[in-house]
């Protein structure tokens, strides 16, 4: 497995946000984490990228423990994280934002080629490369946040609520982009409030409830699970 969470727990002010969570992510495909608000989904991604410290357990990436490492050292190992709410640098241009994603890299010529690849994947960003990020629409900012993470050349991509606050037509475009990235061989861990979209995109799924894994399995099978349909799919 590329990534393993082994009995991982995270606490904020003595309150457990994750409780002995175990998950695995293979070298390819999409793994999704679904659950209600406050279930611990974002905390799981923050733990993987080093933004949340484990109270117990361990996280193994590509055979090495990474829990306890600083976020920049985890990023340097190839873990790209697109946080909830996009969090682009509002007063930097589109191109400056994208270049911040490559700040750990020294392969200048390849960075230039990767920048053009991102523009090829996101033509709207190419059109707006000199605009300040604050002038972009919500969907364009989400594309920018994903493009910035791709500039890291990630071995694993963490996506936190990429469809949040976006119009349905933009949500469909983001779903297409996620499929496209996965098709290039980059494994993805997807946290998504839109459970319908998440289960349609994913190969495997985990359900978090109050910080614990309560259900897991093939995403297509979970899509037909009665509990999942009642709780998360409006059925």
- Output the domain CATH number for residue 44: 3.40.50.300
Cβ 199 vs Cβ 223: under 8 Å? yes
Instruction: Give me the pLDDT at residue 105, please.
Output: 85
User: In whole numbers, what is the pLDDT of the chain averaged over residues?
Assistant: 94
- Which residue bears the tokens 């496209």? 180
Lowest mean per-residue pLDDT among 15-19, 115-119, 227-231: 227-231
- Which residue bears the tokens 């923050």? 46
Instruction: Give me the pLDDT at residue 62, please.
Output: 97
How far is the first Cα of the chain from the last one, in angstroms, to the nearest whole number?
34
Per-residue pLDDT, averaged over 92-118, amounts to 94
Q: Would you say residue 200 has pLDDT above 70? A: yes
Instruction: Give me the pLDDT at residue 235, please.
Output: 56
Kindly report whether the global pTM for this prediction surpasses the value 0.85: yes
- The two tokens of residue 14 are 């003595």
* Strands lying side by side in the sheet with 15-25: 15-25, 3-12, 56-61, 64-65
pLDDT tens per residue, range 219-230:
999 998 888 888
| Phi and psi, residue 93, nearest 5° | -70, 170
In the chain, how many domains are there?
Answer: 1
Which residues lie across from 164 on neighbouring strands? none
Q: Report the distance separating Cα 123 and Cα 140, nearest Å.
A: 10
Q: Would you say residue 187 has pLDDT above 70? A: yes
Instruction: Give me the pLDDT at residue 186, please.
Output: 97
Instruction: Give me the pLDDT at residue 224, please.
Output: 87
Cβ 161 vs Cβ 195: under 8 Å? no
Strand ranges for 37-187 from DSSP E: 56-61, 64-65, 79-82, 156-160
Q: Report the distance separating Cα 158 and Cα 167, nearest Å.
A: 22
Per-residue pLDDT, averaged over 91-110, amounts to 94
| DSSP 8-state secondary structure symbol assigned to residue 70 | -
Whose CA is closest to 157, among 184, 133, 130, 127? 184
| DSSP 8-state secondary structure symbol assigned to residue 177 | H
Domain holding 169, by residue range, is: 3-232
């Amino acid at each position: 497995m590329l990534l393993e969470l082994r009995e991982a727990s995270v606490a904020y002010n003595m309150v457990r946000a994750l409780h002995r969570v175990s998950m695995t992510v293979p070298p390819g495909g999409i793994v999704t984490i679904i659950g209600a608000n406050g279930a611990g989904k974002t905390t799981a991604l923050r733990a993987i990228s080093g933004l949340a410290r484990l109270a117990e357990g361990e996280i193994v990436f590509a055979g090495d423990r990474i829990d306890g490492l600083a976020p920049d050292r985890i990023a340097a190992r190839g873990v790209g994280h697109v946080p909830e709410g996009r969090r682009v640098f509002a007063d930097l241009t589109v191109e400056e934002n994208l270049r911040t994603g490559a700040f750990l890299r020294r392969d200048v010529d390849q960075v230039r080629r990767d920048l053009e690849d991102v523009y090829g994947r996101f033509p709207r960003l190419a059109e707006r490369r000199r605009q300040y990020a604050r002038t972009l629409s919500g969907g364009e900012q989400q594309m920018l946040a994903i493009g910035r993470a791709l500039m890291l050349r990630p071995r694993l991509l963490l996506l936190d609520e990429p469809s949040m606050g976006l119009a349905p037509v933009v949500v469909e475009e983001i779903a297409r982009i996620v499929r496209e990235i996965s098709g290039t061989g980059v494994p993805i861990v997807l946290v998504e409030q839109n459970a319908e979209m998440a289960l349609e995109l994913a190969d495997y799924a985990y359900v978090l409830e109050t910080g614990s894994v309560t259900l897991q399995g093939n995403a297509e099978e979970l899509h037909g699970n009665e509990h999942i349909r009642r709780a998360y799919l409006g059925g």
